[in-house]
A and B are shown apart, each in its own frame.
Chain A
Amino acid sequence: MVKVAEPGVQEEVHSIEKPHETPPDWEPNILAFACHYCAFAAADLAGVMRLSYPSNVKIIRLPCTGKLDYIHILHAFERGVDGIFAAG
């Protein structure tokens, strides 16, 4: 391997290109943005009907999914959220 002048930069670039290995017991942290009138109601209905789904999803209620802003999504990814589900 040829040594370059600034190995640190080289490595940083390298790490961006190659994604992390996923540990075997890793669970994604998912955030849902749900409209108060439909998707949030649907989530309630899922509960009322005792439908089971994984517990790693948390819901943020919005008055309408039209309220969802790209800063919410970017901020969530920045803070380490693994997936976003917008429903409305």
Chain B
Amino acid sequence: MNEKASSLKKGSVLVVGGGIGGMQAALDLADSGFKVHMVQKDPSIGGTMVMLDKTFPTGDCSMCMISPKMVEVGRHLNIDIHSLAEVVSVEGKPGDFRVKVKCAPRYVDPDKCTGCGDCEVKCPKKVLSEFEQGLTVRKAIYSLFPQAVPNTRAIDKDNCLYFKKGRCRLCQKACKAGAINFEDNGKEIDLHVGAIILCPGLDRYDAKVRGEFGLGRWKNVVTSIQFERILSASGPYKGKIKRPFDGKHPKKVAWIQCVGSRDPRNANPWCSSVCCMYATKQAIIAREHDAKIEPTIFFMDMRAFGKDFDKYVERAKNEYNVRYQRAMISTIREEPGTGDLLLRYAAESGKLIDDIFDMVVLSVGLEPHKDAVKFAKIFGIDTNSYCFPVTSPLQPVQTSREGVFVTGAYQGPKDIPETVMQGSAVAGEAMALLGEARGTETIAKELSDEKDLTDEEVRIGVFVCHCGINIASTVEIDKVFEAVKDLSGVVYVTDMIYACAQDSQEMLKQAVRENNLNRVVVASCTPRTHEPLFQDTIRDAGLNKYLFDLADIREQCSWCHMGHKEEATKKAIRIVKMAIAKARLLEPLKTDTVGVTPAAMVIGGGIAGMTTALSLADQGFQVSIIEREKELGGLLRNLYHTLEGNDVQEFLKSRIAQVQAHKRIKVYTGIEVKKTEGFVGNFKTTLTDGTKIEHGAIILATGGIEYEPAEYLYKESGHVITQRELEKKLAMGEKPKSGGRFVMIQCVGSREEPNQYCSRICCQDAIKNAVAIKQRNSEAQVVILYRDIRTYGLRENYYKQARDLGVIFVRYEVDKKPVVEREGERLRIKTWDYMLNKDLVMDADWLVLSTGLRPHPTTDKIGEMYKITRNPDGYFLEAHVKLRPVDFPSEGIFVSGLAHAPKNLDETISQSLAAAGRAGTVLSKDHLSVSGIIAKHRKDLCMSCLSCFRVCPFDSPYIDEEGKVAHNEVKCHGCGICAGICPAKAFQVNSFRDDQILAMIDAAVECETVK
């Protein structure tokens, strides 16, 4: 890191809130040379995501994803977590803020506490658990949840017997470390930081306010977050779906959507954005737990607007028999004595139906915390009338106070990937603000020397994970334990509830030291996500990180052999034995480092590419923008106003001017990329005009195109236009005639096979134009034919505004699409009206088609060039749908904008800033370490037959001065194609050597060695 102590700006950032958004921001900043102070109100970080069982639309286990991140935050040298803490005052200016933080007393000394939990066992006082949503109890000395970070328990003063009655102190007696301190008075700390990031998240709507739903009165009515805990393997019912009333397994379960949302009269006017999807997820997961469950979701509009969401809903309908019933439920009554619940609703036909359910889940919405006004005042930021911070669609993460950024649900309701995106986005903004102070306040990790293994016999430790009940309910852990404990080389075997939790990492290190282990096998989940975590842990314990193997007994065993205990256990034993066989032959590997070219190449000069480029250039890196068209701007050139009313063309003009004036940005227009060589940190690109660029990161911002409709007489009648064409007409000042009629059709070319996805922008576009028409002439008529109106988040206001202005909304179903005919000069549109239950026929002067988005035609070509997969719809597939939304599996390449999926302008800008933040973590490093898993070449065996030379996709073998084949290890990716083809076996891939693979084959067929 460069020492720039002379900088006037501080090289540290305050992150307020420890949810997934805050964690992402903290990790990005700390990984790129900034000191981070994380202030968290709760005793542990984690936020809302830790309470969730699974996540949509992939059904990934939430805790399994976030737990390694929490561990990473907890162990990061440059992140200080201040838990049970709140900011009390902020003074100063961007780059130089003085912040006072008040930490409440924990009554347990984190320096002495080992997290053993003996105190908790002894504590006699039981309190309803907030984390488990009151479905079970915790103790007065407690940790929020088992994987809590920091792992120090806290005493709840309001419930502790000692504090209330002056005697007890059982925890103090139980604590062997002497960590309990009843005299703890908390503390006030002063921080001096350069930027502030706010990510306190949102609260959930208190559905008890709505007495007609009977929450708190009827026991089998639960909130969605309670149901999330019921589903969770580590929840109050251990993953068994039961009714709180009598513990019976429910059969008919109903979800009621929009509880506390989209209801300006009784609750909050906005849409909470996530409830449609989490209800769908909960219905699917419930069915997976118990196939007898019959889920029904009562909803108003199905808002499955995200990437792959519509497919998820279709799957729920078709594969899981989830019933979606469009109806508003006004009241729930309990059938006396049975706990069953009676719901009355109007069916499609208008008939009233009484239906009895065993259990009802209220899909509660999100709202700002109760103290949101005070919170905003402390930081000196403006809020809107709903207490959300004021941001602009053009600067989505910037608050009204410069240097104070906002991210996550607090900025507006949103799901996990968008929160993570904004987390990286604020990190990018803070990096751009504080670029020159990078590295002034961070410290580097000093690793102890690696243990020398020369002349040491193999001593393997095996750690078998229960993963809550994810593994343990299918695989009999004790049998695995028994089967491997006597294998040759195995000297230590143990099991763990969650191997990835922070306390387990400590146990692992301790076991390595105490038993003098020199190889470690963990049997848990997939190496694709968890290997780095365990490798870091054993490195901390003094072992070379490659002396590790992970046996995947979850994804590849327990999860796909559910209900087949015996077979699954047999297979798990085999998998662990194979890992042990390999572990015996593992050798310590050396890792090299390479330099980094501090420059980026951005492909695509639309708003996504330009935003990323500006942020990276402000961070201090050289940026080249490659745009195949003659001018910058992309699709945004066709856009005139945002839904919120911002002038887009003005904004675009200023952005282009900024890009062209920036001394660190070079723009290439009318040119494409010909080829890129190299690897993360060291790319070399040749453009079609022969220009060569050296850069350390690549950002794919190749954008999308608008669908050109082939339906509804488009191109056949001059009166059929697209929303974009209408927007242009309106922007040119056209005033609609009185009595003139505009009919709009939604979802043209979207949400049906083969394009089974929502284009996300069309509902807002239609409403934006409809409002504009009505505002110019209230005598003009607008009818919108829609399938579901998807004005999610605070956009719901504009939907209401449109209805208030007299825009008529008529729903249609995909199997009964509107029919358009020419009627002289005018158009005649026939559609089925589900309210009247008959055909509606209307004449129109203009038919406006809301056309969707498609991936850019170059997406496939670029994808092949950089070896990046596309999803079934043709958009780039990110590294991880939830937690790595702008990364790719290939390091050093990032995505932003429409190339990733359809999205609105503000979301594109957020994602582009995020790509800049992520790229900043790579480019800010002086050196990157090269993986130890590369092919090793033995010249003494090599015959220089050139087989490797021909097949290597990375050009790493070369001809040296002696005219013989040599190997450039820096270019090597360790794929091992050379090793497969080499007739002399002169290539062997580290950790995948032939002897290691043969040993695994032997172990797979009962040929293992026993002591």
**Which A residues are within 8 Å of any B CB, using their own CB?**
29, 31, 36-37, 40-41, 43-53, 55-56, 58-64, 66-69, 71-72, 75-76, 79-81
User: Given A45, A58, A62, which contacts B575 in the complex, CB threshold below 8 Å?
Assistant: A58
A60 touches B578 (CB 8 A): yes
A72 touches B527 (CB 8 A): no
Q: Which residues from 201 to 246 on chain B have a C-beta closer than 8 Å to any C-beta of chain A? A: none
Q: Which one of B41-49, B920-928, B969-977 contacts A? A: B969-977
State in angstroms the CA–CA spacing of A14 and B951 once bound together: 43
**Which B residues are within 8 Å of any A CB, using their own CB?**
58-60, 288, 526-528, 552, 554-562, 564, 567-568, 570-571, 574-575, 578, 889, 933, 951, 973-977, 979-981, 989, 992, 994, 997-998, 1000-1002, 1004-1005, 1007
B528 touches A36 (CB 8 A): yes
A31 touches B1004 (CB 8 A): yes
Chain B residue numbers with a CB within 8 Å of A45 are 555
Chain B residue numbers with a CB within 8 Å of A52 are 560-562
Chain B residue numbers with a CB within 8 Å of A56 are 567, 571
State in angstroms the CA–CA spacing of A31 and B976 once bound together: 19
Q: Beyond the given A47-B558, A79-B1001, could you list 19 further A-B residue pairs with CB under 8 A, ordered by the A residue number? A: A36-B528, A40-B526, A40-B528, A45-B555, A47-B526, A48-B59, A50-B288, A50-B562, A52-B561, A58-B578, A58-B1004, A59-B556, A63-B933, A66-B981, A67-B992, A68-B980, A69-B994, A71-B994, A81-B1001
State in angstroms the CA–CA spacing of A76 and B1006 once bound together: 12
State in angstroms the CA–CA spacing of A9 and B643 once bound together: 88
User: Given B555, B571, B951, which contacts A58 in the complex, CB threshold below 8 Å?
Assistant: B571
Asked if A49 meets B59 with Cβ closer than 8 Å, knowing A31-B1001, A79-B1005, the reply is: yes
Chain B residue numbers with a CB within 8 Å of A44 are 526, 528, 552, 555-556
State in angstroms the CA–CA spacing of A4 and B527 once bound together: 60
22 contacts between A and B (CB under 8 A): A31-B1001, A44-B526, A44-B556, A46-B555, A46-B556, A46-B560, A47-B555, A48-B555, A48-B559, A50-B59, A52-B561, A53-B560, A55-B561, A58-B571, A60-B1004, A66-B975, A66-B976, A66-B981, A69-B997, A76-B1001, A76-B1004, A81-B1001
State in angstroms the CA–CA spacing of A50 and B556 once bound together: 10
State in angstroms the CA–CA spacing of A17 and B333 once bound together: 76
Chain B residue numbers with a CB within 8 Å of A68 are 980
Chain B residue numbers with a CB within 8 Å of A50 are 59, 288, 559-560, 562
Tell me the smallest distance from the CB of B371 to a CB of chain A, in Å: 38
Chain A residue numbers with a CB within 8 Å of B992 are 62-63, 67
Closest to A70 in B: B980
Chain A residue numbers with a CB within 8 Å of B60 are 48
Tell me the smallest distance from the CB of B569 to a CB of chain A, in Å: 9
Chain A residue numbers with a CB within 8 Å of B951 are 66
B570 touches A55 (CB 8 A): yes
Asked if A79 meets B560 with Cβ closer than 8 Å, knowing A47-B554, A48-B58, A61-B527, the reply is: no
Asked if A64 meets B975 with Cβ closer than 8 Å, knowing A44-B526, A58-B571, A80-B1005, the reply is: yes
A67 touches B560 (CB 8 A): no
Closest to B952 in A: A66
Tell me the smallest distance from the CB of B328 to a CB of chain A, in Å: 33
State in angstroms the CA–CA spacing of A41 and B527 once bound together: 10
State in angstroms the CA–CA spacing of A11 and B265 once bound together: 92
Chain B residue numbers with a CB within 8 Å of A31 are 1001, 1004
State in angstroms the CA–CA spacing of A61 and B556 once bound together: 12
B556 touches A72 (CB 8 A): no
State in angstroms the CA–CA spacing of A34 and B560 once bound together: 17
B568 touches A79 (CB 8 A): no
State in angstroms the CA–CA spacing of A52 and B554 once bound together: 13
Chain A residue numbers with a CB within 8 Å of B562 are 50, 52
* Chain A CB within 10 Å, residue with most, of B561, B998, B1004: B1004
User: Given A51, A75, A81, which contacts B998 in the complex, CB threshold below 8 Å?
Assistant: A75
Closest to B991 in A: A63
State in angstroms the CA–CA spacing of A41 and B879 once bound together: 11
Tell me the smallest distance from the CB of A43 to a CB of chain B, in Å: 5
State in angstroms the CA–CA spacing of A50 and B559 once bound together: 5
State in angstroms the CA–CA spacing of A76 and B994 once bound together: 12
Chain B residue numbers with a CB within 8 Å of A49 are 59
B977 touches A55 (CB 8 A): no
Tell me the smallest distance from the CB of A71 to a CB of chain B, in Å: 7
Chain A residue numbers with a CB within 8 Å of B556 are 43-44, 46-47, 59
A63 touches B998 (CB 8 A): no
State in angstroms the CA–CA spacing of A21 and B889 once bound together: 47
Asked if A79 meets B528 with Cβ closer than 8 Å, knowing A48-B555, A55-B568, the reply is: no
Chain B residue numbers with a CB within 8 Å of A75 are 998, 1001
State in angstroms the CA–CA spacing of A6 and B681 once bound together: 71
* Chain A CB within 10 Å, residue with most, of B59, B574, B1005: B1005
A63 touches B974 (CB 8 A): yes
B59 touches A67 (CB 8 A): no
B989 touches A67 (CB 8 A): yes
State in angstroms the CA–CA spacing of A31 and B1002 once bound together: 11
State in angstroms the CA–CA spacing of A38 and B50 once bound together: 29
User: Given B528, B559, B574, B1001, which contacts A72 in the complex, CB threshold below 8 Å?
Assistant: B1001
State in angstroms the CA–CA spacing of A40 and B525 once bound together: 12
User: Given A41, A51, A61, A81, which contacts B560 in the complex, CB threshold below 8 Å?
Assistant: A51
Chain A residue numbers with a CB within 8 Å of B554 are 47
State in angstroms the CA–CA spacing of A72 and B554 once bound together: 26
